[in-house]
Amino acid sequence: MRKALFFSMWLSSFAFADDCQIVISSNDQMQYDQKNFTIPKQCKNFQVTLQHTGNLPKVAMGHNLVIVRQSDLESVATEALAAGPSNGYLKPDDARVIAHTPMIGGGEKAQTTIDVTKLNSEEEYLYFCSFPGHYAMMKGKITIEK
């Protein structure tokens, strides 16, 4: 009986961990494979892995995943160009950026972790690519489960 209970708890911890992460793919056609995702209410941290399934290098078709409040999208994306490639097309230490991956090229992947305890389920959050010209097509919505 104890072994069964322990085994059940052990298995559920893996299921719980899987609920607190997602893999999103990007490609050379400036697309994410997912237009939205939901963060379950039990997650304190949520890990996002970005995969670039294309072949082009990051100087030509780089992608990242930047998480912001919906109200901050336009200003953060507009200022990204001025930040330049050496900063991954993001203003350094920008307080409006909740989390972000580094810029990656074809065949690469990167991760970031969202501190969910700092998010409000009543607010709207988005993710986008800050490479110049990409955010118009490469963005999605994040829902925080209540």
CATH number at residue 91: 2.60.40.420
Domain count of the chain? 1
Pairing of strands 109-115, 66-69: unpaired
Assess if residue 12 is contained within a domain.
no
Instruction: Note the pLDDT of residue 38.
Output: 97
Instruction: Note the pLDDT of residue 104.
Output: 98
Domain that holds residue 76: 20-144
Assess if residue 112 is contained within a domain.
yes
Instruction: Note the pLDDT of residue 10.
Output: 43
Q: How far apart are CA 144 and CA 119, in angstroms?
A: 8
Q: How far apart are CA 146 and CA 144, in angstroms?
A: 6
Assess if residue 44 is contained within a domain.
yes
Q: How far apart are CA 95 and CA 117, in angstroms?
A: 16
Give the angle subtended at the CA of 78 by the CAs of 94 and 60, to the nearest 5°. Answer: 100
Contact in structure between 78 and 128 (CB atoms under 8 Å) = no
Assess if residue 94 is contained within a domain.
yes
Assess if residue 13 is contained within a domain.
no
Instruction: Note the pLDDT of residue 17.
Output: 55
Instruction: Note the pLDDT of residue 79.
Output: 95
Instruction: Note the pLDDT of residue 46.
Output: 98
Assess if residue 2 is contained within a domain.
no
Assess if residue 47 is contained within a domain.
yes
Assess if residue 14 is contained within a domain.
no
DSSP state of 70: G
Regions of the chain short of the pLDDT cut 70? 1-17
Instruction: Note the pLDDT of residue 18.
Output: 78
